[in-house]
Amino acid sequence: MVARELISTPFTASSTADEVVRDIDLAGVRAIVTGASSGLGIETARALTAAGAEMTLAVRNTTAGDAVAERIEESTGGIRPRVVRLDLADRATVTRFVDAWSGPLHLLINNAGVVTGGLERTREGWEWQFATNHLGHFALATGLHHALAQGAAERGEARIVAVSSTAHMRAGVDFDDFHFERRSYDPQIAYAQSKTANALFAVEATRRWASDGIVANAVNPGGVATGLQRNFTPQQKKSLDEAEAAGVFTYKTIEQGAATSIVAAVAPEFAHSGGHYLDDSQVAYTVPNDADLAQHPHGVKEWALDPTTAKRLWAVSTDLLRG
């Protein structure tokens, strides 16, 4: 197992997003948060706006996004966030979002995520969770690469934050059957695959783009009760309850859950250091692929950080989106 750099920060599992941005000035910083109409996305966008960022809320439901923008403007006394429609499972809306963006971009927070209770597919026939959580964000980030490079040239850095999950410990990426065309469908394994893909994206994006001043890091927000769980089947709910009982996680508030994303977005320790997986605001320690989740609830499996796998996933994802 390869030894990896463990970067620490002053923050902990109980830190909040507001504590992380305290004394941080993001005036002039242009930021996008996907999935910013609910849960962690709202709090992430609010905290960044409170620190002075010029915020764009990328959301499927613009009516809900407008309501959030109003709340953020009122609570921060800042500039009202811009609201733009983005459905990560619909390649056309991703393309429209990218084409409409102009000027530099400094922070891209790939926060949105879906969980399904059964097999659902996009119009391309892709498994819904992989298509949304990974491929949609991949298309968005690669489409905005020029804007991020422009932002890095202007500010000296640009960052991408990919929201992953402890669920990545359940499964790596199955290159022979991304979309469950041959294997039996398990929504938990599908979700786990997509969250591993999020971490692998951060590894390869940093390798490719660090010379442009762009780094990417994956984060685990921890156990947070959000709308993400609304589609859980009884089996998924049982599995979550069992994981909590086994000590795999303890529930955080939304303010605490957003803190690790904010650390990756603004902490000086990650201005030029990427390809990491953060847990509780620290770089997580790496565990073997056969490690037990209950014994290593704050670890990251090797398959989520393997550079060869990350490079392969990037190439395959590019080919899928071109098809």
Catalytic site residues?
A: 191
Pairing of strands 223-224, 251-252: parallel
Residue 44 C-alpha from the chain's centroid? 11
- Beta-sheet pairing, 277-279 with 282-283: antiparallel
- CB distance 149 to 209 below 8 Å: yes
Q: Residue 130: phi, psi to the nearest 5?
A: -65, -40
Angle CA 7–245–287, to nearest 5:
35
Q: How many helices (H) and strands (E) does the chain have?
A: 12, 12
Show the beta-strand stretches assigned E in the chain: 30-34, 54-59, 82-85, 107-110, 158-163, 214-220, 223-224, 251-252, 277-279, 282-283, 285-287, 299-301
Which is it for the CA torsion 70, 76, 81, 86, positive or negative? Answer: negative
* Contact present, 55 and 262 (Cβ < 8 Å): no
Q: What angle do CA 83, 27, 88 make, to 5 degrees?
A: 30
